[in-house]
């Protein structure tokens, strides 16, 4: 008895049933489409500024950049995140800068305030300035994963290597976990 | 008809096995590179500066049954006041609790007036308690930027440091605002307070002169009651003689001989400076305060010393927030080594 | 893993005082200076619909090219498109191979919800395989397509070697499952040897591994697909029951033997000799012996896996951290790592870390036993399959092993009925 390929037979039924069952299972696994797109973000409260963000991201240079929350910044002349602890003078001399790639820029605003901005093309996400700012200052400089650079890997290599488990997936609508003024841990 | 192949078939097996073994070995031995020294920020070599000039040692530690201690002040009878979350504690000279008063809200600072009344600096206004701890008066509230961080009671007025508005307020005992001190004024050559974080302190020296710290300028300033600047000095630096980081000192208190005790954050240390601004002695270094790099307290809180005071017996008292204790330091009696 | 998250959540609450609320008013500027806003660009997102459409579309084209059109040129063209789009443009993520981890994770791992796209990427190749065989492997998978484009002078590895080396893929699948179930992480993503080329950078070891595979891939076709790919194991199982799988001959086989050396992955099964190789009784006896051996094999393999739990547990980062901290405390190693430094500066007491690591090692006992049993079953199954005497008259395709690369079509001299009649 020849079985014509075009006929729908018992095996086809089993195949179709398997697909439906698998599809339903996968739909369940997807949580029925809840939460929406998830993105990787650093929690600045947990970050310990170890420097691995710069070296473990699969991209080179890293998708992690320093962001500056100017609402929290004190605009100090002697910035703990800009100047080396051993800096001889409080100016923009390269020998005084803490940043290894000179990505943090200093600009005089008015007496006695200075504005500090991050040049993202240079920043590698090493967290040196973040640590200086956190230790001596208000902690306005902090690292965050840039959504236009990040590939949104299935398993973030930085998340896997973070010693303080500070990198986690959050829904896109809550994304950009940045420090802001007057709000708990914010999100923009 | 199969010819004998040029390369025997088993050679491909060996190649395949070798490639797979190499790949698995590469998988298992892979590790991302660690950040090198140019990416690490390390101030641990500054933590030991001043160890040779240590002249004080911790003689007592008063444990506090208080959540979130915020302020410390010495009382005339040798005891001390400690304020914290919704509470004001009165301790005796041995650190035993003699009274506990509930307060609506968390005071940031406290001071005892000459008449025994207690002045509490709540975030935006001053609340006055009588000696029994009941609310005697609530002074008018400041604007939405007001943030009182320190309070000191003189013989005829009360000074409150408003870190939010960057000014020292001078009140009469009835709560009337007599004047503002320290606002930037080029004509009177007052540089103005630079206060990046809520640590503006006022303290009275033995001659009841009013001193305030200027954290952004790394120094101290003395003002007359009319608001004019009497004297000032500044010294920034990571070494023990200077004030480290961007905003230090963050707490000051005067001793009977006119020397000033200062506490710093970031590189957490307490030291005593003579009236001529030279270093008189080191009280405590980061390792004594649980703030050496790598210690749990340092990672969490860069300003564990919340407040300083000098009590009637001349002991230096430091309020340690994370440890919830008052640390008591006394000068070493020529024992040194 | 869950406990680690809880600990961190508690830590955040405790440490919250410093960063959670920053209410201290900042300086007011007299010169009219305004603060610059933070640069927070939106994500560079490719519509997931495009990915899914391309996935399905390319598989459909490949299926048509392999089953209907029988054209290797088409297959190679789709390979190129796939390498360019799924490889270099999408940088290898989202990937069907890795998606199996997400789906597993949703059910038996941490319970993290899986995005719908990932589920589709997991299912769609399997669905196509159910009808058309491993057309995903043929040209749509960027890893496979890259290897296909490199396989310029493929040779045949001896069949015995093929059978043995193929077990490595099952082991990889098993270890991946262990990794997901115990919360150790996603092994496939970490050990993807080709993604470094697509991203133009990556860990040196993985780039070397990828280079090695591609270089050897010049002569040994698709080494990753045949001997390492864990998703390939699933596709193999599904493809075995596929309905319209590619066949070597378009019409009927004439046993001309020309396709014997055609398949680089040894997927063409030769006809059995005309006379029966052995008596039926011998065959039945062998099957009975194998059947009786199964529980013994499973028990032994599960036991071996169970006893390897100490070694397997090192897969988990918490266990490795506990090892490091213990070694430092005992003085067996000098210096500290960033992990041990951060741990010591944190709030968790050392005893708790050791307890957590010990708990994880316990979990690895069960996982190891399961892995062992799985491998035992796989090896037993392979022995069973090889022991079965199949009477075969024509040159047929092993539907599980065949990656539908369409190489063998050119070897077959038989013309299509439609062509012959024309």
pLDDT at B231: 92
Portion of chain A with pLDDT greater than 90, in percent:
32
Q: What is the pLDDT of residue A60?
A: 81
Verify whether the Cβ–Cβ distance A137 to B238 is below 8 Å.
Answer: no
Helix (H, G, I), strand (E, B) or coil at A101: coil
- C:1-30 residues touching chain A, CB 8 A cutoff: 4-5, 8, 11-12, 15-16, 18-24, 26-27, 29-30
Q: How confident is the model at residue C15 (pLDDT cuts 50, 70, 90)?
A: very low
Question: Which tens digit of pLDDT belongs to each residue from C185-206?
Answer: 899 988 999 998 998 888 889 9
Q: Does A3 touch chain C (CB under 8 A)?
A: no
Q: Which of the four pLDDT bands, split at 50, 70 and 90, describes residue C2?
A: very low
C206, C315, C338, best to mutate vs chain A, most A CBs in 10 Å: C338
Q: Name the closest residue on chain C to residue A135, using Cα atoms.
A: C18
Task: Examine the pLDDT at B137 and tell me if it is beyond 60.
Answer: yes
DSSP-based three-state secondary structure for C11: helix
Local confidence band at A86 (pLDDT 50, 70, 90 cut-offs): confident
Residue B2 has pLDDT above 60, yes or no: no
The verdict on whether omega for the bond into residue A61 sits within 30 degrees of 0, i.e. cis, is yes
Whether residue A4 is predicted with pLDDT greater than 60 in this model: the reply is no
Which of B208-222, B286-300, C263-277 has maximum average pLDDT? B208-222
**Per-domain boundaries in chain B:** 43-336
- Residue in A54, A129, A135 closest to B302 by CB: A135
Question: What pLDDT score does C420 carry?
Answer: 54
pLDDT at C27 over 90: no
CATH assignment of B43-336? 2.120.10.30
Band the pLDDT of C34: cuts 50, 70, 90. Answer: confident
Which residues in chain C have Cβ-Cβ distances shorter than 8 Å to B297?
none
Write the pLDDT tens digit of every residue in C297-306.
999 999 999 9
- Residue C203 is predicted with a pLDDT of 85
How far is it, in rounded angstroms, from Cα A167 to Cα A161? Answer: 9
Per-residue pLDDT band for B300 (boundaries 50, 70, 90) equals: low
- Closest residue, chain C, to A176 (C-alpha): C40
B33 shares contact with chain A (CB less than 8 Å): yes
Note the pLDDT of residue C232.
Answer: 95
Residue C335's pLDDT is: 86
pLDDT digits (tens, 9 = 90+) for B249-264: 999 999 999 999 999 9
> pLDDT at position C381, please?
92
Percent of chain B with pLDDT over 70: 96
Whether chain A has a CB inside 8 Å of the CB on C106: the answer is yes
Query: What confidence tier does A188 reach under pLDDT thresholds 50, 70, 90?
Result: very low
Q: Which residues of B touch A55 (CB under 8 A)?
A: 32-35, 39
Helix (H) or strand (E) holding A144: strand A141-145
- Most A CBs within 10 A among C8, C43, C317, hence the mutation to make, goes to C43
pLDDT, one tens digit per residue, over B158-169 is 999 999 999 999
Q: Is the pLDDT of residue C130 over 60?
A: yes
**pTM for this entry:** 0.85
Across-strand partners of B209? none
Lowest mean pLDDT, pick from A37-46, B40-49, B192-201, C18-27: C18-27
Does residue B18 register a pLDDT over 70? Answer: yes
Kindly indicate the confidence band of residue B70, based on its pLDDT and cuts at 50, 70 and 90. very high
Q: How confident is the model at residue C63 (pLDDT cuts 50, 70, 90)?
A: very high
With an 8 Å Cβ cutoff, is A24 touching chain C? no
H/E element holding C380? helix C350-387
| Secondary structure (H, E, C), chain B | CCCCCCCCHHHHHHHHHHHHHHHHHHHHCCCCCCCCHHHCCCCHHHCCCCHHHECEEEEEEEECCCCCCCEEEECCCCCEEEEECCEEEEECCCCCEEEEEECCCCCCEEEECCCCCEEEECCCCEEEECCCCCEEEECCCCCCCCCEEEEEECCCCEEEEECCCCEEEEECCCCCEEEEECCCECCCCECCCCCCCCCCCEEECCCCCEEEEEHHHCEEEEECCCCCEEEEEECECCCCCCECCCCCCCEEEECCCCCEEEEECCCCEEEEECCCCCEEEEEECHHHHCCCCCCHHHHHCCCCEEEEEECCCCCEEEEECCCCEEEEEEECCCCCC
For B196, the closest of A76, A131, A132 (CB atoms) is A76
Residue A66 dihedral angles phi and psi, to the nearest 5°: -80, 135
Which distant-in-sequence residues (6+ apart) come within 8 Å of B260 by Cβ?
Answer: B203, B205, B211, B220, B252, B253, B254, B272, B273, B275
- Asked if the Cβ–Cβ distance from C243 to A178 is below 8 Å, we say no
Chain C residues near residue A52 by CB distance under 8 angstroms: 338
* Contact with chain C for residue A165, Cβ under 8 A: yes
pLDDT at C26: 81
pLDDT of residue C14: 33
Res B320: pLDDT: 93
Q: What is the largest CA-CA distance in chain A?
A: 97
pLDDT higher than threshold 60 for residue C325: yes
- CB-defined contacts A:B, below 8 A: 90
Q: Which residue has the higher pLDDT, C2 or C61?
A: C61
Query: For A129-186, what is each residue's pLDDT tens digit?
Result: 999 998 888 889 999 999 989 988 888 899 999 998 999 988 888 878 888 776 433 2
Give me the residue from B16, B30, B299 closest to C205, CB to CB.
B30
What number is the average pLDDT over the span A81-108?
87
Three-state SS for C397? strand
Over residues C118-129, mean pLDDT = 91
Sign for the CA dihedral angle at C143, C146, C150, C155 comes to: positive
Q: Is the pLDDT assigned to residue C416 strictly greater than 80?
A: no
Q: State the smallest CA–CA distance between residue A33 and chain C in angstroms.
A: 6
Chain A CB within 8 Å of residue C112 CB: yes
Q: Which residues of C touch A67 (CB under 8 A)?
A: 38-40
CA-closest candidate to residue C265, choices C338, C165, C174 = C165
């Amino acid at each position: 008895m020849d079985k014509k390929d075009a006929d729908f037979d018992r095996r086809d039924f089993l195949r179709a049933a398997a697909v439906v069952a698998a599809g339903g299972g996968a739909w369940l696994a997807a949580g029925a489409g809840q939460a929406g797109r998830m993105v990787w973000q650093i929690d600045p409260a947990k970050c310990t500024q170890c420097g691995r963000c710069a070296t473990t991201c699969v991209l080179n240079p890293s998708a992690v950049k320093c962001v500056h929350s100017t609402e929290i910044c004190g605009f100090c002349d002697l910035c703990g995140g800009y100047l080396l602890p051993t800096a001889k003078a409080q100016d923009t001399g390269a020998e005084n800068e803490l940043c290894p790639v000179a990505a943090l820029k200093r600009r005089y605003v008015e007496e006695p305030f200075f504005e500090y901005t991050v040049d993202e093309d240079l920043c590698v996400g090493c967290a040196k300035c973040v640590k200086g700012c956190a230790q001596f200052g208000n902690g306005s400089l902090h690292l965050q994963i840039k959504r236009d650079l990040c590939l949104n890997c299935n398993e973030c290599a930085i998340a896997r290597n973070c010693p303080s488990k500070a990198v986690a997936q959050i829904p896109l609508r809550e994304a950009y976990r940045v420090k802001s003024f007057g709000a708990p841990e914010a999100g923009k | 008809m199969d010819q004998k192949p040029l390369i025997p078939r088993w050679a491909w097996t060996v190649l395949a096995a070798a490639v797979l073994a190499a790949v698995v070995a590469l998988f298992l031995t892979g590790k991302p590179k660690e950040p090198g020294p140019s990416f690490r920020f390390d101030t641990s070599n500054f933590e030991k500066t001043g160890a040779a000039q240590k002249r004080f040692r911790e003689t007592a530690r008063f444990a506090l049954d208080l959540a979130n201690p915020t302020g410390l002040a010495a009382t005339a009878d040798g005891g001390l006041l400690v304020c914290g979350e919704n509470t004001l504690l009165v301790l005796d000279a041995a650190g035993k609790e003699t009274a506990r008063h509930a307060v609506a809200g968390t005071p940031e600072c406290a001071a005892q007036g000459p008449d025994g009344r207690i002045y509490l600096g709540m975030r935006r206004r001053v609340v006055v308690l009588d000696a029994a701890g009941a609310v005697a008066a609530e002074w008018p509230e400041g604007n939405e930027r007001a943030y009182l961080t320190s309070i000191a009671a003189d013989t005829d007025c009360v000074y409150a440091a408003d870190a939010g508005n960057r000014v020292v307020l001078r009140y009469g005992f009835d709560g009337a605002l007599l004047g503002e001190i320290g606002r930037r004024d080029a004509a009177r050559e007052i540089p103005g307070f630079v206060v990046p974080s809520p640590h503006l302190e006022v303290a009275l020296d033995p001659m009841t002169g009013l001193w305030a710290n200027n954290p952004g300028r790394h120094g101290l300033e003395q003002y007359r009651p009319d608001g004019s600047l009497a004297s000032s000095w500044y010294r920034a630096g990571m070494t023990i003689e200077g004030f480290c980081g961007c905003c230090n000192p963050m707490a000051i208190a005067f001793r009977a001989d006119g020397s000033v005790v200062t506490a710093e954050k970031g590189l957490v240390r307490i030291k005593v400076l003579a009236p001529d601004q030279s270093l008189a002695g080191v009280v405590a270094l980061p390792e004594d305060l649980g703030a050496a790099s790598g210690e749990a307290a340092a990672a969490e809180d860069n300003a564990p010393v919340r407040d300083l005071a000098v009590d009637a017996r001349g002991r230096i008292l430091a309020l340690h927030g994370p440890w919830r204790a008052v640390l008591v330091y006394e000068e070493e009696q020529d024992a040194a080594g | 893993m869950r406990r680690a998250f809880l600990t961190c959540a508690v830590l955040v609450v405790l440490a919250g005082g410093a960063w959670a609320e920053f209410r201290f008013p900042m300086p007011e500027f007299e010169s009219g200076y305004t603060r610059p806003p933070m640069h927070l660009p939106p994500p560079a997102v490719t519509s997931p619909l495009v990915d899914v459409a391309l996935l399905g579309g390319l598989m459909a084209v490949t299926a048509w090219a392999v089953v209907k059109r029988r054209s290797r040129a088409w297959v190679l063209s789709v390979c190129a498109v796939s390498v360019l789009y799924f490889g270099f443009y999408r940088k290898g993520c989202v990937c069907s191979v890795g998606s199996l981890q997400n789906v597993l994770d949703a059910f038996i791992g941490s319970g993290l919800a899986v995005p719908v796209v990932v589920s589709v990427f997991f299912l769609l190749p399997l669905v196509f395989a159910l009808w058309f065989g491993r057309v995903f492997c043929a040209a749509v998978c960027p890893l496979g397509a890259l290897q296909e484009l490199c396989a310029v002078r493929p040779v045949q590895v001896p069949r015995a070697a093929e059978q043995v080396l193929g077990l490595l893929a099952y082991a990889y699948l098993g270890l991946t499952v262990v990794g997901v179930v115990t919360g150790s992480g996603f092994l496939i993503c970490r050990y993807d040897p080709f993604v470094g080329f697509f991203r133009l950078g990556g860990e040196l070891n993985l780039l070397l591994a990828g280079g090695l595979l591609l270089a050897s891939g010049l002569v040994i076709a698709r080494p990753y697909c045949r001997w390492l790919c864990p998703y390939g194991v699933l596709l193999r199982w599904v493809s075995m029951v596929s309905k319209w799988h590619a066949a070597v001959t378009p019409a009927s086989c004439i046993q001309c033997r020309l396709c014997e050396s055609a398949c680089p992955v040894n997927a063409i099964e030769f006809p059995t000799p005309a006379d029966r190789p052995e008596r039926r009784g011998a065959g039945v006896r062998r099957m009975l012996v194998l059947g009786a051996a199964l529980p013994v094999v499973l028990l032994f393999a599960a036991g071996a896996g169970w006893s390897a739990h100490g070694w397997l547990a090192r897969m988990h980062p918490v266990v490795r951290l506990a090892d490091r901290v213990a070694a430092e405390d005992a003085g067996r190693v000098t210096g500290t790592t960033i992990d041990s430094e951060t741990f010591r500066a944190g709030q968790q007491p050392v005893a708790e870390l050791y307890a957590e690591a010990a708990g994880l090692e316990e979990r690895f006992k069960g996982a190891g036993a399961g892995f062992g049993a799985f491998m035992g079953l796989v090896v037993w199954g392979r022995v069973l399959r090889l022991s079965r005497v199949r009477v075969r008259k024509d040159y047929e395709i092993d539907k599980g092993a065949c990656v539908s690369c369409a190489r063998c079509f050119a070897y077959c001299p038989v013309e299509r009925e439609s062509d012959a009649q024309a």
